[in-house]
Amino acid sequence: MTAKIIYKGLLRTEATHVASDTSIVTDAPVDNHGLGTTFSPTDMLVSSLASCMLTIMGIKAQDKEWNLKDSYIEATKIMADNPRRVGEIHLNVFIKSEQELSTSDKKILENAGNTCPVLKSIHPDIVLKINYNF
């Protein structure tokens, strides 16, 4: 088992990672009857994608002995209706590197980010807009 998720009432869940016993709480968003005091499940989808991309780029950077510390992604989700779902994900990727990155190096990092398992799991009907900034 990867995680145990408990419904806490008031449209809130608590997900516990079994191996580490760490937890994440989600709330329904305000525009969908929730309190909006923490990440919603759809926020977690977008955050999971961004975290995965940074992790895969970090693995590639370690292989190349590049330091990408403080790189980040600004992630935005746009909801769609009928049915209610994530319709678009916009990612602005900001790569910080202590080393000078060549055009080829940048392409290596983009390719790494674009092959993350979460990205490959996103439904093809979701519009993805990814912008890399170096």
In tens, the pLDDT along 75-86 reads: 999 999 999 999
Cα–Cα distance measured from residue 41 to residue 46, given in angstroms and rounded to the nearest whole number: 9
Question: Do residues 92 and 44 touch, judged by C-beta distance below 8 A?
Answer: no
Global pTM value? 0.95
Architecture label for domain 40-133? 2-Layer Sandwich (3.30)
| pLDDT tens per residue, range 20-51 | 999 999 999 999 999 999 999 999 999 999 99
Contact 91, 131 (CB under 8 A): yes
- The mean pLDDT value of the chain amounts to 97
- Looking at residue 40, its pLDDT comes to 98
What's the N-to-C CA distance of the chain in angstroms? 38
Q: Domains of the chain: which residue ranges?
A: 1-39, 40-133
